[in-house]
């Protein structure tokens, strides 16, 4: 089973699947895109000195058939439906673009995308249009796992039922966790720290990267940190719902964008300046893939 879904910036979706009306035929451009190798050559140097491997944008092409309709009028109405959903004027809204989702028997992945050029329709056969093609431009070279993963680290409290045997255990800490990036590339995270009047640290012991909060987060407030370089941000959400820029809460000695999950297991620890029953942090991420 294979299926490709394009959802434009206005939430309208076009599904290329196994049934009526848009029958999926094939897709290309989902394997690892070509990488740009950046290198320098010194005077009299044999070979070159590697600097970095830079991933380029992704181009995806979907081939599909518009299946037979009851009459030619219905066929052309269906064609206009595809034109409307894939229109360039509906590909962007408020700086956001559409989303391309691919799924097969092994999983489901997605990436930002916009239609690139016109739909190439095949030759009409009676009330069907076989052999159609549409291309998508994907600025992000990576495919993201469609399902968002979550980890929560917190100070918990066990219940107490009397009579009870000694010793009593009234509290439980869970300030470290193993976060698994199932992809093939380093993955940014979104961090939500719930305020209890503390100024905590978050450390990835696998990479050595950390997020250091230098100002106390008041009770009822949340500090939201996004380490994705495309959306690098730090916001303080107050108890009344207001938001304000909060980059000043973080130590400049620790680069936000360096806090990522490498492929495989990552040992992450939350270190509160003082533990309380309300100490809590939540981490969200989508695993990144160079190709599927």
Query: 129 vs 11, 20, 66, 74, 81, CA distance in Å?
Result: 25, 12, 5, 12, 14
- Rounded to 5 degrees, φ, ψ at 229 are -65, -20
C-alpha span between 71 and 68 (Å, rounded):
8
pLDDT by residue for the chain (292 residues), tens only, comes to: 899 999 999 999 999 999 899 999 999 999 988 878 888 888 888 888 888 888 889 999 999 999 999 999 999 999 999 999 999 999 999 989 999 999 999 999 999 999 998 999 999 999 999 999 999 999 999 999 999 999 998 765 443 334 444 444 444 456 889 999 999 999 999 999 998 888 889 999 999 999 999 999 998 899 999 999 888 999 999 988 899 999 999 998 888 999 999 999 999 999 888 766 678 899 999 999 999 9
Buried b (16+ CB within 10 A) or exposed e, 205-220: ebbebbbbbeebbeee
Q: Give residue-wise pLDDT tens across range 260-280.
A: 999 999 999 998 887 666 788
Q: Contact at 8 Å (CB) between 12 and 85? A: yes
Neighbouring-strand partners of residue 104:
107
Q: Is 8 exposed, middle or buried (0-12, 13-18, 19+ CB in 10 A)?
A: buried
Query: 234 vs 229, 231, 243, 261, CA distance in Å?
Result: 12, 10, 10, 18
Q: Do the strands 143-145 and 107-115 form a parallel or antiparallel pair, or are they unpaired?
A: antiparallel
Q: Give residue-wise pLDDT tens across range 107-121.
A: 999 999 999 989 999
State the pLDDT at residue 93.
95
State the pLDDT at residue 285.
96
State the pLDDT at residue 166.
47
Q: Contact at 8 Å (CB) between 128 and 270? A: no
Residue 288 has a CB neighbour count (10 Å cut-off) of 24
């Amino acid at each position: 089973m294979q299926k490709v879904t394009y959802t434009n910036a206005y939430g309208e979706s076009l599904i290329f699947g196994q049934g009526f009306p848009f029958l999926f035929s094939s897709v290309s451009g989902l394997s690892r895109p070509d990488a740009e190798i950046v290198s320098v050559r010194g005077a009299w140097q044999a070979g070159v000195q590697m600097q970095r491997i830079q991933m380029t944008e992704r181009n995806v092409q979907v081939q599909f058939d518009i299946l037979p309709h009851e009459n030619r009028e219905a066929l052309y109405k269906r064609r206009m439906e595809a034109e409307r959903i894939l229109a360039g004027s509906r590909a962007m809204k408020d700086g956001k673009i559409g989303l391309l989702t691919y799924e097969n028997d092994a999983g489901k992945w997605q990436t930002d995308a916009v239609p690139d050029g016109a739909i190439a329709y095949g030759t009409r056969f009676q009330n069907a249009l076989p052999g159609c093609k549409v291309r998508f431009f994907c600025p992000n070279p990576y495919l993201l796992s469609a399902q968002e993963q979550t980890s929560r680290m917190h100070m918990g409290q066990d219940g107490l039922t009397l009579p009870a045997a000694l010793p009593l255990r009234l509290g439980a800490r869970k300030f470290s966790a193993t976060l698994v990036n199932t992809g093939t590339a380093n993955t940014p995270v979104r961090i939500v720290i719930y305020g209890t009047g503390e100024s905590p640290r978050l450390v990835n012991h696998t990479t050595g990267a950390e997020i250091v909060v230098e100002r106390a987060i008041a009770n009822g407030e949340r500090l939201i940190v996004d380490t994705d370089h495309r959306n690098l941000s730090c916001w303080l959400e107050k108890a009344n719902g207001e938001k304000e820029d909060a980059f000043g809460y973080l130590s400049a000695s620790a680069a936000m964008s360096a806090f990522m999950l490498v492929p495989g297991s990552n040992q992450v620890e939350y270190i509160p300046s003082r533990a309380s029953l309300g100490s809590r942090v939540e981490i969200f991420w989508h695993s990144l893939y160079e190709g599927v």
